[in-house]
Structure 1
Amino acid sequence: MHGYLPRQAQLVLSKALNRAPAALLLGPRQCGKSTLARQLLAERGDAVLLDLQDRSDRARLQEPELFFEAHRHELVCLDEIQLLPDFFSLLRAEIDRDRRPGRFLLLGSASGPLLRQSQESLAGRIAQVELTPFLLSEVAPAIRWQQLWLRGGFPESLLASADDDSIDWREDFIRTFLGRDIAALELGLPLPLMERLWRLLAHLQGQTLNASRLAGLLDLSSARLQKLLAALEHTFMLRRLPPLEANLSKRLVRSPKLYLRDSGLLHNLLGIESYDDLLAHPQAGESWEGFVIEQLIAAHPRWRPHFLRTGHGAELDLVLERGQRRRVYEIKLSKAPKLSRGFHELVEQLQPEQASLIAPVETSFEIRPGIWVQPPLEAGGSELRAAAPRG
């Protein structure tokens, strides 16, 4: 429909392969990892790809040392590497025989176990790159932000020819994810309970976590709940946005905020089917907030994300930190957004290098001296674009 849409992660991945013997491309299932890898391999021309879900491809690794020897001067790409968790020790031995950059590209869908395995076995030998579903900066101007917000960034959902096809794909993804990906983590919970948890999380979008209350609703222990939330984080479905640790003369909220990371999956779980449904839904503001936060975090890969809320309700939706630098954001679903007094008070205390309000406006404008209102595309642009609003 739109042809191949370039991904921002491709340049990051190419740089990683130029400096490290192996690169691990992580991201949720169906977000485009294989497509990106095939594009990169086609441009290089000196590569071999094995899909570890394919029995014949797995058979080629029956004698891994012989396979590596035969392809030592090519980039070897192993897709769905989480299916062979014990393979990292073999990779370590092969890399130590020849530590040239760009020898292995590994693709995986579950970050927790993979990160642990790669850190333990390939420390100092592997670079990690995360691929998200499509970002607005990747699809604009071919696709409007309204469509990306409604359908989410998974390619099959976003690029579907009709809204009904997009909805059906997301429903299938939710069933497959719960029935296969979560089941593969062996958490020992029945499928209906996992589905109930996910739907509860959709209704808690943008709220601070009350672990004891949520555990009570599910009849689970708090420790069990935390394990489930960690599993959803490791599979890139959930973001727990931590509170900022700041020395302010106010009592601060200490619990993380919860966001389902893909807005399209969130909308399916909330029963939202059209853009009009979305605008009329009571959680439209929270959905918009989560959507924009994902764009901003992806645009600032070396910045640590937080939120800040005082006991009196003053809040900054997103605070990005890098060393001693800070950028703060308020997110409003309004064409005529207004800033609260609490926002100004917190900006005055934190003294960030940039303070912005992200809203569904067409062009940037200065709402107060030094504070800019920006459209969503600038929220998802590069660091330079985000740091330099246009009047």
Structure 2
Amino acid sequence: MIARVIKDELVELLEEFAAVAVLGPRQVGKTTLAQEIAVLIDKDYIYLDLESPADHAKLNNPEAYFELYKGNLIVLDEVQRVPELFSVLRGVIDRRRREGFKTGQFLILGSASLDLLKQSAETLAGRIAYKELSGFTAMEIGDGQLKEQDQLWLRGGFPDSFLARSDLSSLRWRMNFITTYLERDVPQLGPRIPAVTLRRMWTMLAYQQGAQINIVQLGANLDITGTTAKRYLELLEDLLLIRTLRPWSGNIGKRLVKSPKVYIRDSGLVHALLNLETFDDILSHPIIGASWEGFVIENLLSCLPLGITPWFYRTSAGAEIDLVLELSPGNLYAIEIKRSMAPVLSKGFYLACDDIKAVKRYIVYPGKESFPAAKDVMVSSLAGMMKIICGIQK
């Protein structure tokens, strides 16, 4: 079994907060991780899958049910299905506090980000901590071993996909995952959206991985309005399936681009949508650079706590940085991503770093070693860059 990096942090959060919410897409390993953690906190923990009619029925009178198991950790899976629970949880947590039960009461799992946060942000303010769970990362599957890293890039981070017995089995799993999301999960979370249209959008996004998206043009290509296209994109983002990376917009007197870049968050889904089965298929496909860029960005952002906003930087004159992070107040880190064992930086990167006054400058490449490059730029492996970011946060 592959150990998850955030496991110890979640245990610590349960020792500090009454409730902890773990957010992540379906099949990313939330339930398995939650059960591992729950055993450490309370071997008699209660687990409720709120998609199960039987478990849902147990909460017909939630206050009575929670009172019955007052001394136990309760795991609530797919809690966004029952948003009215949040107001109940507030009263239960406050009542338990007065009785001496201050922390480790509820471990909440959700497969949608914004919907869950909107429901609970005010209701449980000061009582809940949030943590996002991504798929497997480069630090978890071999600490930077290139063979495992390449497999992770090809198959993506969903456990069942990464651990499949063959590349073909992995691809079949991802194809089925996409179909299930489109035909079952999406209709349950909002207004009816044609599965065919949403699949076409998802596939278009795969071909344009990491590109700046023109919403109106995207809608026209799908025979829908720009407003509808924007709503579909927001839904995929809420489901933690795509990431919108917005341009850095500090007041530097430059003409900056305004359109966001859109990435499908899991590289394995990108490759499945493009029907790329093997590593050689990726290496011979035009998507290679954009796919690697998205893969690196997701791994790096898995190290960030909620609340730190990532950006990219681009001017109309061509100055560009793939990823900009403010890891401490006023200190901007510029990260360029190259799919080359001998990465070369453009003049635009140096100009962009000067524009934003970046205090640290890095290139992330697919090798194992880290070494200095020209003009105060450090070349780093993916795992090495992740360790740098994790170290700054501690």
Tell me, yes or no, whether TM beats 0.5: yes
Task: Give the conservation status (yes or no) of the 8 Å contact 1:378–1:385.
Answer: no
- Which one of the candidate residues 338, 359, 378 is aligned to 1:353? 359
- Which one of the candidate residues 130, 135, 138 is aligned to 1:136? 138
- Which one of the candidate residues 44, 47, 50 is aligned to 2:48? 50
| 2:302 aligned counterpart, secondary structure | helix
Q: Map 1:362-381 to 2 at 5 A.
A: 362-381=368-387
Q: Give the corresponding residue for 1:232.
A: 236
Deviations 1:323-367 (CA, angstroms, capped at 9, x unpaired): 211111111111111010111112223222210001112201111
Q: Map 1:235-246 to 2 at 5 A.
A: 235-246=239-250
The reply on whether 1:33 has 2:35 as its aligned counterpart is no
Q: Give the corresponding residue for 1:250.
A: 254
**CA shift in 2, pair 1:119/1:215, >3 Å:** same
Q: Give the corresponding residue for 1:80.
A: 78
- d(CA) in 2 for partners of 1:380 and 1:277? 27
Task: Give the conservation status (yes or no) of the 8 Å contact 2:300–2:389.
Answer: no
| 1:164 aligned counterpart, secondary structure | helix
- d(CA) in 2 for partners of 1:65 and 1:292? 44
What amino acid is the match of 2:26? Answer: R
- d(CA) in 1 for partners of 2:385 and 2:295? 10
Deviation at 1:49, TM superposition (A): 1.2
Aligned residues: 384
Deviations 1:29-86 (CA, angstroms, capped at 9, x unpaired): 0000001001001122242111223333223323322221121111111111122121
Q: Give the corresponding residue for 1:311.
A: 316
The reply on whether 1:21 has 2:23 as its aligned counterpart is no
| 2:216 aligned counterpart, secondary structure | helix
Q: Map 1:264-275 to 2 at 5 A.
A: 264-275=268-279
Deviation at 1:130, TM superposition (A): 0.7
Deviations 1:198-239 (CA, angstroms, capped at 9, x unpaired): 111111111111111111111222222111111111101111
The reply on whether 1:151 has 2:155 as its aligned counterpart is yes
Give me the CA root mean square deviation: 1.7
| 1:319 aligned counterpart, secondary structure | strand
| 1:16 aligned counterpart, secondary structure | helix
What amino acid is the match of 2:361? Answer: A
- d(CA) in 2 for partners of 1:124 and 1:209? 37
- d(CA) in 2 for partners of 1:81 and 1:383? 31
- Which one of the candidate residues 110, 116, 119 is aligned to 2:118? 116
- d(CA) in 1 for partners of 2:8 and 2:56? 29
Q: Choose 60-69 or 99-108, whichever is displaced more.
A: 60-69
Q: After TM superposition, which residue ranges in structure 1, 4 or more long, deviate above 3 angstroms?
A: 384-387
- d(CA) in 1 for partners of 2:283 and 2:70? 55
What amino acid is the match of 1:308? Answer: Y
Deviation at 1:264, TM superposition (A): 0.0
| 1:250 aligned counterpart, secondary structure | coil
Q: Give the corresponding residue for 1:181.
A: 185
What amino acid is the match of 2:330? Answer: Q
The reply on whether 1:63 has 2:61 as its aligned counterpart is yes
Q: Choose 92-101 or 329-338, whichever is displaced more.
A: 92-101
Q: Choose 334-343 or 49-58, whichever is displaced more.
A: 49-58
Task: Give the conservation status (yes or no) of the 8 Å contact 2:26–2:111.
Answer: yes
- d(CA) in 2 for partners of 1:43 and 1:96? 24
TM-score under structure 2 length normalisation: 0.93
- d(CA) in 2 for partners of 1:96 and 1:362? 50
Identity %: 42
- d(CA) in 2 for partners of 1:16 and 1:285? 37
Q: Give the corresponding residue for 1:284.
A: 288
Q: Map 1:335-350 to 2 at 5 A.
A: 335-350=341-356
Structure 2 unaligned runs (5+)? none
TM-score under structure 1 length normalisation: 0.94
Task: Give the conservation status (yes or no) of the 8 Å contact 1:292–1:380.
Answer: no
Q: Choose 142-151 or 289-298, whichever is displaced more.
A: 142-151
- d(CA) in 2 for partners of 1:303 and 1:85? 26
Deviation at 1:384, TM superposition (A): 5.1
Q: Choose 91-100 or 264-273, whichever is displaced more.
A: 91-100
